[in-house]
Copies of this chain bind each other. A is one copy, B any other.
Amino acid sequence: VPKVSQEHLDSRRAQILDGARRVLAKHGYDGATIAKIVEETGLSRGAIFHYFHDKKEILVALGAEVSERYVEAVTTGGFAEAIRELIREDPELLAVLIETEARLSHDEDFVQRLAASSAAFLPTFGAWIEEQQAAGALRDDVDWRDIGRFANIVVNGLALRIVRSEETDVEVITRLLEDAIRPKPPA
């Protein structure tokens, strides 16, 4: 199947990423072997290495993808809505999120390759929080960075829980999160 339309190429690439995402969600980072991705996608190893130079590149692509979607969701509908959307849209995204985040603590190479792929989301993110503070939707007695960090912490921790399929009432958790970052009533 040579020299083919751009849509075909894109769909092949997406096909690989889809399979890899499922495998990553089911077996974790190191359990996501090429063989399993081959099996899941139905493609051959040759095909996969044609689209991605090595295995890590696939995982980096998945990590960048979830990172992008998360920032977009937050800046569109706020933290609570972003959490709901990530869960709703594709639970496997949460697994990708966790595996990616955990991978960042060791594997310096992964850090750099992911950074190269997913740059430029953070600025948007920060700007959005400051905007919300100015509009009185978020407390402004703490630095916007800390609000962002706290929210991310909760999102990551929550994802970790859900991925382990532990019973969790997402609505309650988001309510508690909002309680933590909503503007404080004047004493």
Contacts and interface: CB of A to CB of B under 8 A. Distances in A.
B28 A101 contact: no
Interface stretch (A55-63, A124-132, A171-179): A171-179
A153 B157 contact: yes
A107 interface: yes
A11 interface: no
B157 A173 contact: no
A116 interface: no
Contacts of A103: 28
How many copies of the polypeptide does the oligomer hold? 4
Interface stretch (A12-20, A66-74, A160-168): A160-168
Interface residues of A, number: 46
A104 interface: yes
A48 interface: no
Nearest to A3: B46
A169 interface: yes
A101 B160 contact: yes
16 contacts: A26-B106, A28-B103, A28-B106, A29-B30, A31-B106, A99-B102, A102-B160, A104-B164, A142-B172, A143-B172, A146-B169, A150-B154, A153-B158, A153-B161, A156-B160, A176-B181
Closest 5 CB pairs of A and B: A157-B157, A153-B157, A30-B30, A180-B180, A156-B157
Interface of A: 26-31, 95, 98-99, 101-107, 142-143, 146-147, 149-150, 152-158, 160-161, 163-165, 168-169, 172-173, 175-177, 179-181, 184-185
